[in-house]
Structure 1
Amino acid sequence: MSRSDATGSVPSPVTADDVGLAVRLAVELLRHAPVDGWGSRAGSLEWDCWETVEHIANDLLYYAVQIGPQSPPLDTHVPLALTRKRPEAPMVFVHAERAAGPAGLLQVLEACGALLVAMVRTTPPHVRAHHGAGVTDPEGFAALGVRETLVHTHDVAEGLGLAWTPPAALCARVLARLFPDAPGGADPWRTLLWATGRAELPGHARPATWRSDSAPRS
């Protein structure tokens, strides 16, 4: 059953344009961050704000890479080697040069987002590739990329003291694609934060653990 948004309509699929929009909005917000705030803890995460933006960029690039091979693997990911700079840091395979400062970090985020946009736009919809939440398709990777960008920008915004509210329609499309069983009728952004363990939702217990459903819808 398709999940309806607060207006009762069924959101349209997540697209490459949605990925581009999410990344663009995140970059526009973070350009206004205080330069000395990037070492602050990102919301409820163990990572600092710089590490969290690196994580977003790495996820976007990771999703693009999965649908890159002519025959994408279905039982495991494309074997890029992951590392971390400290025990609590996220596992990544690409780091932004610290000497380039926050502007350089945001360029890395933009570039990785652009690669996912290009791959989603040019990969045939029948292609399938591995993801930890299950084999998915280009639209699924687009939705995963938007989800990661939206919710981790929320984490970074909390750490930097910035207000962040992405478009409701964008959040509704991600919810419909990745969290089809999430409660309907509430604000889509609040519901997405709830679905990813970051907010309360009246009448619903906050999930102790969460997992998105990236299975192809057709």
Structure 2
Amino acid sequence: MSGPAEPAPSPSPVTADDVGLAVLLSVAVLREAPPAAWDRKAGSLEWDCWETAEHLADDLFFYAVQLGPQRPPLDTHVPFALSRKRPGGPANFTFADREAGPAGLLQVLEASGALLVAMVRTTPHRVRSHHAWGVSDPEGFAAMGVVETLVHTHDLAEGLGLTWSPPAELCSRVLARLFREAPESADHWLTLLWATGRAELPGHARLSTWRWDGTPRS
């Protein structure tokens, strides 16, 4: 007679190393883009590729600084001033210098990613900070940074004419952390694209609205 079924193992946490890997892989792909291609539209977004990469860098910067204060805010973001370079463009806290060209833009992306890596690695697990989709912890901000990197690199790859396919295990971990209601699928990357409104999944129409749940798991 067999005993009770063993419970399914909990997914491994999303870590600072995951953020670093996502940014490393993203920058490696984006370095292959033709210099003249950065003004093209980024996939299904209304922004061009330069704006989208700038927005991605800004996301990583934002997640890092939310963990920075000794007493992180629980009701709003750290009050860096938001601005837009044009109507309809992304609202950012930071921007890259256009005169530095694509190489400079990717340095800004690398640097913002490194800030988030450092903050996730050094911030105690008990710390909580504000995000519009739920107060989160360092692992949650790491997962958000990975998702932003993976899916915006997808947008950029479409616009720049590049090939992008991130590691399935990385996609699986952030799905488990942020998208617990996502359907089970063998293709974790396609599921992540579906969960962020960028693709159809067999049996599931493309989402017109979506959000993640960054609240702590314990």
What's the offset of the Cα at 1:11?
2.8
Alignment gaps of 5+ in structure 1: 1-7
Deviates more, 1:181-190 or 1:191-200: 181-190
Alignment partner, residue 91 of structure 2: 91
Distance 1:9 1:190, change over 3 A: farther
In 1: Cα distance, 2:60 partner to 2:172 partner: 20
> What is the TM-score when the length of structure 2 is the normalising length?
0.95
Q: Which has the larger radius of gyration?
A: 2
Amino acid in the other structure paired with 1:42: A
RMSD, aligned α-carbons? 0.9
Alignment gaps of 5+ in structure 2: 1-7
Alignment partner, residue 3 of structure 2: none
Alignment partner, residue 130 of structure 1: 130
> What is the TM-score when the length of structure 1 is the normalising length?
0.95
In 2: Cα distance, 1:186 partner to 1:44 partner: 25
In 2: Cα distance, 1:98 partner to 1:90 partner: 15
The answer to whether residue 191 in structure 2 is matched with residue 191 in structure 1 is yes
What's the offset of the Cα at 1:54?
0.4
In 2: Cα distance, 1:85 partner to 1:205 partner: 34
What's the offset of the Cα at 1:9?
5.8
* Kept after mapping to 1: 8 A contact 2:198/2:207: no
Once the two structures are superposed, the pairs formed by residues 42-53 of structure 1 within 5 Å of their partners are 42-53=42-53
* Kept after mapping to 1: 8 A contact 2:185/2:191: no
* Kept after mapping to 2: 8 A contact 1:11/1:169: no
The answer to whether residue 203 in structure 2 is matched with residue 203 in structure 1 is yes
In 2: Cα distance, 1:11 partner to 1:203 partner: 25
In 1: Cα distance, 2:200 partner to 2:181 partner: 16
What's the offset of the Cα at 1:170?
0.2
In 2: Cα distance, 1:109 partner to 1:206 partner: 29
Alignment partner, residue 182 of structure 2: 182
Alignment partner, residue 56 of structure 1: 56
What's the offset of the Cα at 1:204?
1.2
What's the offset of the Cα at 1:88?
1.7
What's the offset of the Cα at 1:185?
2.6
Distance 1:9 1:34, change over 3 A: farther
SS in 2 for 1:145: helix
Matched residue pairs, number? 211
In 1: Cα distance, 2:9 partner to 2:89 partner: 40
Distance 1:10 1:165, change over 3 A: farther
In 2: Cα distance, 1:180 partner to 1:186 partner: 15
Amino acid in the other structure paired with 1:98: R
Deviates more, 1:204-213 or 1:13-22: 204-213
What's the offset of the Cα at 1:206?
1.9
Task: List, as ranges, runs of 4+ consecutive aligned residues in structure 1 with deviation greater than 2 Å.
Answer: 8-11
Once the two structures are superposed, the pairs formed by residues 72-83 of structure 1 within 5 Å of their partners are 72-83=72-83
In 2: Cα distance, 1:50 partner to 1:10 partner: 38
Amino acid in the other structure paired with 1:151: V
Amino acid in the other structure paired with 1:96: A
Alignment partner, residue 16 of structure 1: 16
Residues 55-81 of structure 1 deviation map (CA, whole Å, 9 limit, x = unaligned): 010000000000100001101111110
